[in-house]
A = this chain, B = another copy of it.
Amino acid sequence: MGVKKYISEGQGLPNWDNPISHAVVVNNMCFVSGQLSLDCDGKYIEGSLLEEARQAFLNFFAALKNGGFNPDDIVTMDMAMLDISKLPEINQLYIELFPSYKRPARTIYQVDALPFGGKIKISGIAVQNVD
């Protein structure tokens, strides 16, 4: 299945100083770093929880795409947010983003602080079927 692929930059991905990859691809799996509401210059875009979540998902999906994966391949996500009482807003977004028969697993953490003062951060794993 070939060598590992380290996605450190690419179309739609925030340019960042972090010495980490946006995503690493190996053996039909794609491991995606925590994604925040950042624009392509790596600048934090402050917004409502939902706005920030949408931008974080855009970046997450861009990381997948640059690795040759798509949202359908997501199997699990970890989500860190400042206030889990606002989970219903995120669930609405999930209903929009994922068809009901293809919903990833998920674990949510309430945290005190995120980089840049952000409201939500998402990371996760995508896997493609091996035939």
A27 CB–B CB distance under 8 Å: yes
> Do A1 and B129 touch across chains, with their CB atoms under 8 A apart?
yes
Q: Tell me the complex Cα distance, A32–B77, Å.
A: 10
Closest-by-CB residue of B relative to A28 is B27
Q: Tell me the complex Cα distance, A45–B95, Å.
A: 27
> Do A20 and B78 touch across chains, with their CB atoms under 8 A apart?
no
> Do B94 and A20 touch across chains, with their CB atoms under 8 A apart?
yes
**Least Cβ distance of A30 to chain B in Å?**
9
> Do B20 and A104 touch across chains, with their CB atoms under 8 A apart?
yes
> Do B104 and A24 touch across chains, with their CB atoms under 8 A apart?
yes
Binding site for B on A (CB under 8 A): 1-4, 6, 8, 17-24, 26-29, 31-34, 75-76, 78, 80, 84, 87, 91, 94-95, 98, 100-115, 121, 123, 125, 127, 129-131
With contacts A21-B103, A26-B127 known, what are 19 further pairs, Cβ within 8 A?
Answer: A1-B131, A2-B129, A6-B102, A19-B98, A22-B105, A23-B105, A27-B127, A27-B129, A29-B75, A31-B104, A31-B105, A33-B105, A34-B107, A80-B107, A84-B113, A84-B115, A107-B123, A108-B115, A110-B111
